[in-house]
Amino acid sequence: MRLPPSPLLLAGAFLSSNVLADRLEQRVSVPLTGAYDSNPQMVAGGQGAYVARLAPQYTLTNIGDADEFALSLGAVIARSSNQTALQDQNNPNASLGWKHLTPTSEFNLNALYRQESAQQAEFIQSGLVVADTTRTTKGAVASWTSLLTERLNYTLGADYSTISYDQTTPNLIDYNTYGGRFSLAYEITPRDEVYWLSNGTRYEPNASGFVSLTNRNSSSTAYGSMLGYKQKVSDAIDWDIRAGWLTITGPDADSTWQGNLRVNYTGEQSRLGVDVGRLANPTGTAGGFLLSNQVRAVYSYDLSERTTVGFDGSWIKNEEAPFNPATTAKIVGVSGSHELNQFWSLRLVAQRRYSDYDNVRSSATGNLISLSLIYTHPDF
């Protein structure tokens, strides 16, 4: 599949002679993966599939005194032994970012184009089971941060995205989102900060046919505010907590609380990240926003300079919505990686997944095991 004209035009501008005058860093990564998934559809009694996957990724970064540009191009090419359970993939991706710094401010602009398996992406991100089709995301995000005083700063942000599916069904529809946010932060000490965050997102479905005759084709809005506090406890530990109120309008109208807690630990040999939150996600299945409670954790430990083992897990509980039943999803995985030399490494992953749609369908489980041979050139 070809990339749309816009990222290609941006890439051409990025590679102009003026940009190349600054210092360049290049990175390439080429993972080759063989895997077996016992139930990629995550349905009771689902079929398994063997998969071979190639995912090359190239990144070019230009670093100047005040500006930094980053261009990334890649693709996921996958071949499945069972097209009924899991289809082949030929999915490109591209992103372009620009960061501009002044003594008292920072501006960021990022554009994204990505194709991916809707079946895999929706389950990982929101715990939902959807049809095996291709999901295409196009979007742009901009933010501006500026100092008001030595300790007080504000951030303004805006984003736009359009999500489309190759096979739109009554249970999976295209949609656009428009968002804006404002935050005000005060630095109590170099290690402590309090802040206020206010944001809103507009959801607009892009539906036709049967779906256009239902409330699932109605627009909705989610907006709210939160107060937060973050602290760098030590060089190894930092945490961030925030909570506030959330209002949703439209078919899925609701008024409830939202919040998030993040804790990070980085030691000499181990790393741990924990993320607990309650948020509203726009989806192509709920016809608007889906209230979700989530817990995610990632841990890794260096057995030696070349060998690392890890664990990751997630728990997602989606509340009932007008077009979506209450659902629960769990993912638990263990991994190990070993550097063969400066450029080559091996990675082994084992994962177990669980899905339950309350009173709608039988619960389902799936197992995944994969082995990857990865070539990485960090800078050339």
Is 219 in contact with 203 (CB distance < 8 Å)? yes
Is 320 domain-assigned? yes
Is 143 domain-assigned? yes
Confidence check: pLDDT of 211 > 80 = no
End-to-end CA distance of the chain: 28
Q: What pLDDT sits at residue 286?
A: 65
More confident residue, 154 or 360: 154
Task: Express each pLDDT in 28-54 by its tens digit.
Answer: 999 999 999 999 999 888 999 999 999
CATH no. for residue 303? 2.40.160
Q: Worst-scoring range by mean pLDDT, 9-23, 58-72, 195-209, 304-318? A: 9-23
Q: What pLDDT sits at residue 213?
A: 47
Q: What pLDDT sits at residue 5?
A: 44
Q: What pLDDT sits at residue 281?
A: 87
DSSP single-letter state for residue 321: B
Is 269 domain-assigned? yes
Residue 252: name the closest of 202, 215, 293, 292 by CA: 215
CA max distance for the chain: 62
Residue 168 pLDDT grade (very low, low, confident, very high; cuts 50, 70, 90)? low
Domain count along the chain: 1
| Coil, strand or helix at 122 | helix
Is 179 domain-assigned? yes
Is 3 domain-assigned? no
- Residue range of the domain that includes 105: 87-336+351-365
State the pTM of this model: 0.88
Q: What pLDDT sits at residue 16?
A: 47
Confidence check: pLDDT of 13 > 90 = no
Is 78 domain-assigned? no
Is 323 domain-assigned? yes
Other CB atoms closer than 10 Å to residue 181's CB: what's the count?
16
Task: Express each pLDDT in 271-301 by its tens digit.
Answer: 999 999 999 988 887 678 889 999 999 999 9
Give me the percent of the chain exceeding a pLDDT of 90. 73
Confidence check: pLDDT of 324 > 80 = no
Confidence check: pLDDT of 212 > 90 = no
Q: What pLDDT sits at residue 210?
A: 45
Rg of the Cα trace of the chain? 22
Is 229 domain-assigned? yes
Q: Cα–Cα distances in Å, from 131 out to 64, 86, 117, 187, 352?
A: 45, 10, 9, 47, 20
Task: Express each pLDDT in 80-99 by its tens digit.
Answer: 999 999 999 999 999 999 99
